[in-house]
């Protein structure tokens, strides 16, 4: 069906708390058309799962948002995607990423080293970006840059290009940053060719030079996706996780009292507050989802944030945070199907270490009064979150 009113993704009220709006839309049906944009929204758990699994990435209408990174295997479908993905997937399995636990613990320990009872932790600035940035450099075997804040800006604006509702002005600003990021990654790729090692960047270069699963010109687009996913989604998910647990005080206290629940707590915050709110797809052929026929050539938004709160999947407590939830791990915060996030196990490990260390060292931590700024409708997270650490 068509919604009675247009979707307003950049309304400050919506950005502060999008879940009531998504619930109202989901109550209209599992598949709803936004009259303002003409896009098809998939909203129920089953519809989103089907859409992510069966609708190819396709080619969205409008200006080319990826003109600086053409031929990206992660944006492809079929063998062009799956074969290139296999180049790095073994290094990012659950078992493989555990080798990085000690390094993650070291980075977290450094971030907390001078913190005492009553200290403030600026989650995004002091640990949210630092941890995934340093870990990404380690995994790729590249040196840290002189100005990480500049790289942080370029990568964020380049990631912002996945926003389905960008204004023309914002689109141009993001594309300009994307061009600068391309130049940077090209320089890093040239350096990496002169300094090969036992790392993911070198593995990608070797595979590209062999020419069997990808071409040399695809190295920079391939690494571009790794930059964006590695450096930003965890940033936001960390802030969202602390916010969710500390505003649902009983859940934080349960975690402190029962640290064995940490793994499940990570899964539940991913369900309850996923940073990726939707993924874009385009139908290259007609498809039926939840009894609704979606014609060829339609842009489809698969609303993960809606699916993860669907009462048909999660019951009457869908809108409640419950770190003891038995089926929390069945969320689709990392997507579904062939494009499921390849770094999901690494993200889980990062969340596990950070949440676990803060809960252990500062069990009475709290959120001080603060005004949170929410900027993105697609990669959700506060621009900063301050936690007051209490022993």
pLDDT in tens, 349-370: 999 999 999 999 999 999 999 9
4 assigned to some structural domain: no
3 assigned to some structural domain: no
51 assigned to some structural domain: yes
Domain range for 323 is: 12-388
5 assigned to some structural domain: no
19 assigned to some structural domain: yes
Query: Tell me, what CATH number does 381's domain have?
Result: 1.10.630.10
Q: Tell whether the model's pLDDT for residue 308 goes beyond 80.
A: yes
Least confident interval from 50-59, 83-92, 262-271: 50-59
Supply the pLDDT for residue 45: 98
pLDDT in tens, 107-119: 999 999 999 999 9
Q: Tell whether the model's pLDDT for residue 61 goes beyond 80.
A: no
- pLDDT-derived band at 290 (thresholds 50, 70, 90) equals very high
114 assigned to some structural domain: yes
Least confident interval from 66-80, 81-95, 146-160, 256-270: 66-80
CA-CA distances (angstroms) from residue 286 to 16, 56, 78, 118, 140? 35, 12, 18, 58, 40
Instruction: Provide, for the chain, the percentages of residues in helix, strand and coil under a 3-state DSSP scheme, each rounded to the nearest 5.
Output: 55, 10, 35
Listed in sequence order, the residues at least 6 apart from 300 whose beta carbon sits closer than 8 Å to its beta carbon are 39, 40, 41, 42, 51, 55, 280, 281, 282, 283, 294
Tell me which residue has tokens 């010109």.
217
- CA triple 128-129-130, angle to 5 deg: 100
**DSSP assignments along 121-135, one per residue:** EEIIIIIITHHHHHH
Q: How many H helices and E strands in the chain?
A: 17, 8
Q: Tell whether the model's pLDDT for residue 209 goes beyond 90.
A: yes
Q: Quick one: tokens of 221?
A: 């687009």
- The alpha carbon dihedral of 14, 248, 270, 314 has a sign of negative
Q: Tell whether the model's pLDDT for residue 183 goes beyond 70.
A: yes
Domain count, the chain: 1
46 assigned to some structural domain: yes
6 assigned to some structural domain: no
Supply the pLDDT for residue 229: 84
Q: Tell whether the model's pLDDT for residue 60 goes beyond 90.
A: no
- 367, 388 Cβ separation under 8 angstroms: yes
């Amino acid at each position: 069906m068509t919604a009675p009113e247009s979707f307003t993704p950049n309304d400050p009220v919506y950005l502060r708390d999008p879940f009531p709006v998504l619930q109202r839309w989901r109550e209209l049906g599992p598949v709803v058309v936004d009259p303002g944009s003409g896009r098809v929204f998939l909203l129920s758990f089953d519809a989103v799962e089907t859409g992510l699994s069966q609708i190819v990435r396709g080619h969205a209408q409008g200006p080319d948002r990826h003109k600086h990174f053409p031929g990206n295997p992660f944006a492809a479908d079929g063998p062009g995607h799956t074969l290139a993905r296999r180049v790095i997937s073994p290094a990012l399995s659950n078992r493989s990423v555990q080798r990085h636990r000690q390094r993650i613990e070291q980075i977290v320990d450094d971030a907390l080293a001078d913190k005492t009872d009553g200290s403030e932790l600026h989650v995004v600035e002091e640990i949210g970006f630092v941890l995934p940035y340093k870990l990404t450099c380690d995994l790729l075997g590249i040196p840290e840059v002189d100005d990480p804040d500049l790289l942080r800006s370029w990568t964020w604006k380049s990631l912002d290009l996945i926003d389905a509702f960008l204004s023309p002005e914002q689109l141009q600003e993001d594309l300009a940053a994307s061009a600068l990021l391309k130049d940077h990654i090209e320089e890093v790729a040239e350096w990496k060719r002169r300094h090969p090692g036992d790392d993911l960047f070198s593995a990608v270069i070797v595979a590209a030079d062999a020419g069997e699963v990808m071409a040399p010109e695809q190295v920079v687009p391939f690494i571009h996706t790794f930059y964006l996913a590695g450096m930003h989604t965890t940033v936001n998910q960390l802030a969202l996780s602390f916010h969710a647990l500390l505003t649902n005080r009983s859940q934080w206290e349960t975690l402190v009292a029962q640290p064995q629940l940490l793994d499940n707590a990570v899964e539940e915050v991913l369900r309850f507050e996923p940073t990726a709110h939707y993924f874009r797809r385009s139908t290259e052929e007609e498809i039926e989802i939840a009894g609704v026929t979606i014609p060829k050539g339609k842009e489809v938004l698969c609303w993960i944030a809606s699916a993860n709160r669907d009462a048909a999947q999660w019951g009457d407590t869908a809108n409640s945070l419950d770190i003891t939830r038995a089926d929390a791990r069945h969320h689709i915060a990392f997507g579904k199907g062939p494009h499921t996030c390849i770094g999901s196990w690494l993200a889980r490990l990062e969340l596990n270490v950070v949440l676990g260390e803060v809960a252990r060292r500062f069990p009475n931590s709290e959120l001080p009064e603060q005004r949170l700024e929410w900027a993105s409708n697609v990669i959700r997270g506060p621009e900063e979150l301050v936690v007051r650490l209490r022993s």
